[in-house]
Amino acid sequence: MKARRVTEITVQTDEAFIIRRRAGSVQVCCAHCGSGVPMVTPEEAAALFRVGVRAIYREIEAGQLHFQETPGGSVVVCLDSLQKIVGLLSRNSGSQT
């Protein structure tokens, strides 16, 4: 078995972003979509869509985002559901920096 394993997640927004993860990070797929959609941490999601992390959590709490808890206890969100509300997110985050 090879020791090195890197997961690449590409998200098509206005630019292409690639998240490179080190071996050992958990690759979780969305159970709601059921189609192998990768899930990312709220921090990664915020960086990808250029919104605040708080905005991500707000949408999780509002039930707008599919999310799951990893075995390690952290939360990951579904990229597919994120992309569906990304316009809403940037409108709500308000600050243009």
Contact positions toward Zn ion, by CB under 5 A? Answer: 30, 32-33, 66, 78, 80-81
Q: In terms of CB distance, is 35 or 97 closer to Zn ion?
A: 35
3-state secondary structure of 92: helix
CB of 37 to Zn ion, least distance (A): 5
Tokens 């050992």, located at residue: 24
Nearer to Zn ion, 28 or 46 (CB): 28
To Zn ion, the closest distance from the beta carbon of 93 in angstroms equals 21
CB 72 within 8 A of CB 26: yes
> Which of residues 5 and 84 has its CB atom nearest to Zn ion in the complex?
84
Instruction: Find, among 17, 21, 78, 25, the residue nearest to 48 by Cα.
Output: 17
C-beta nearest to Zn ion: residue: 78
d(CA 6, CA 27) in angstroms, rounded, equals 10
Task: Tell me how far, at minimum, the Cβ of 11 lies from Zn ion, in Å.
Answer: 14
Question: How many Å apart are CA 45 and CA 65, to the nearest integer?
Answer: 11
